[in-house]
Amino acid sequence: MGNHSDGTPASSDAVAKAGHGEVEKFQDPGLPPHRLRLADTDPRAAKRAERQVAILFVISAIGTLLFFFAYFGIHLDQSLSTLHLQNTFLGLGVGFAMLGIGTGIVHWARALMPDHEVSEERHAMRTEEDRVAAVKIVDDIIEETGIKRRPLIRNTLIGAMALAPLPAIAILRDLGPLPGNALHHTLWKQGERLARDPDGTPIKASDVTIGSVFHVIPESLNQLTEGKLEEKAKAAVLLVRLDPSLLHPSPGREDWSYNGITAHSKICTHVGCPVALYEQQTHHLLCPCHQSTFDLTRECKVIFGPAVRPLPQLPITVDSEGYLVAQSDFHEPVGPSFWERS
């Protein structure tokens, strides 16, 4: 080791190439001559480097002190500004503490530790002898078990081993309930009032001016004590009022809107993000996650993006007090597609 003549052309195969009949190659000249650093020859340069390393370590110590100053000295008073200040100085303290040590050590290594590149022979990872012995051992072991001679044992073992892991899968069964038809129903039912999200106050049809948008939940949602988020994740609705002449209801759906007020599921039919962006000029709904775009005037048909199906429409009308109510639940499952959905 440490011998710069290692890897001489004679011992080097870096340039060998198999089989292509190359005539001639440049010879490996071996490691280039070592170049001394300033600190190797000039004691004053070495001394200077030593001082620099020490200064970096002192900077690190100062950084640690800065951390303590920030931790104990800066009092949080529930405002973002003190929090910000403390975070900055904690970071500065730790940053300098770490960088001081790191740069100090690296500088020490680069300037003062020996920088002779050395060459070491690679040893074969394994010997032929070892491998022959290993193969023989494996063969002997297999032979001694007699697994080849006794297929009955082998086959029953394979059968048992194939079955044994199955309980590990079955035991996961109780991770959750079966889907059943949970995805086919929401909180909406006949007469359920449309209410504002999140406070749950019902919406009067007369309050909905043309061009306005309401984020809607079923009125009964806020009374739920359990499973509120799960129900909301299915029942969230976007209510928009357009000029009725702009709407193009398909046959059978003419009475699903009221006075140009339409209610569509807010849950994207792609992978379920809330479709919350309404472009007032174009009457498009845009999903901010993957940019599926739905045309409100055409029953939320997909006009761009990865979604395939239109947002399901909630049939609505008004009750005797003038509040908007659902005529029924959605007529199809809301949200992303799934295998059992037809």
Partner 1 sequence: MSSATQAPYTPKTSTGRITNFVDQRVGGSGMLREFGRKVFPDHWSFMFGEVALYTFVILLLSGTFLTLFFDPSMAETTYTGSYVPLKGMQMSVAYDSTLNISFDIRGGLFMRQVHHWSALLFVAAVSVHMLRVFFTGAFRKPRELNWVVGGILLIMSMAAGFTGYSLPDDLLSGNGLRIIDGVVMAIPVVGTYISFFLFGGEFPGTAIISRLYMFHIMLIPAIILLLVAVHLFMVVVHKHTQYPGPGRSDRNVVGYPLGPVYAAKAGGFFFIIFGIVALVSAFFTINPIWNYGPYDPSPISAGTQPDWYIGWVDGALRLMPGWLFNIPMEWHIPFPWGVNTLSLNVLLPALVPAGLVFTLLFAYPWIERWVTRDDREHHVLDRPRNAPTRTAIGVAGFIFYCVMWAAASSDLIATHFQVSLNDVTYWLRALFFVGPILGFIVSKRVSLALQRKDREIALHGRETGRIVRLPHGEFQEMHAHLDDYKRYKLVGYESPVAEDGIPNENGIVTKTERRRAALSRFFFEDRVAPATPAELAAGHAHHEAIEAGEESRPVSRY
Considering only residues 38-97, where is the footprint of partner 1 by CB under 8 A? 71, 76, 78, 83, 86-92, 94-97
Question: What x/- string results for residues 166 through 205 when contact with partner 1 is judged by CB under 8 A?
Answer: ------xx-xxxxx--xx-------------xx-------
Determine which residue in the list 105, 213, 224, 242 makes contact with partner 1, applying CB under 8 A. Answer: 105
Give, rounded to a whole angstrom, the gap between the first and last alpha carbons of the chain.
74
> Residue 115 CB, nearest distance to partner 1 (Å)?
7
Q: 322 near 205, Cβ under 8 Å?
A: yes
**Is position 15 an interface residue for partner 1 (rule: CB under 8 A)?**
yes
* Cα 269 from chain centre: 21
Which of the ranges 9-17, 127-135, 147-155, 317-325 carries the binding residues for partner 1, by CB under 8 A?
9-17
**Is position 270 an interface residue for partner 1 (rule: CB under 8 A)?**
yes
Q: Which residues contact 291 (CB under 8 A, 6 or more apart)?
A: 304, 305, 306
> Residue 82 CB, nearest distance to partner 1 (Å)?
10
Q: 238 near 285, Cβ under 8 Å?
A: yes
d(CA 296, CA 262): 9
d(CA 132, CA 123): 19
Interactions with partner 1, residue window 278-307 (CB under 8 A): 288-292, 302, 304-307
**Is position 312 an interface residue for partner 1 (rule: CB under 8 A)?**
no
For partner 1, the closer of residues 273 and 318 by Cβ is: 273
> Residue 1 CB, nearest distance to partner 1 (Å)?
7
Determine which residue in the list 213, 224, 309, 317 makes contact with partner 1, applying CB under 8 A. Answer: 309
**Is position 213 an interface residue for partner 1 (rule: CB under 8 A)?**
no
> Residue 21 CB, nearest distance to partner 1 (Å)?
10
Determine which residue in the list 272, 297, 318, 332 makes contact with partner 1, applying CB under 8 A. Answer: 272
Interactions with partner 1, residue window 116-135 (CB under 8 A): 117-122, 125
Q: Which residues contact 277 (CB under 8 A, 6 or more apart)?
A: 285, 286, 287, 288
CA distances from 140 to 128, 144, 153, 158 (A): 18, 6, 18, 21
In DSSP notation, 22-42 reads: ----PPP--SPPP---HHHH-
Which of the ranges 40-48, 203-211, 256-264, 274-282 carries the binding residues for partner 1, by CB under 8 A?
274-282
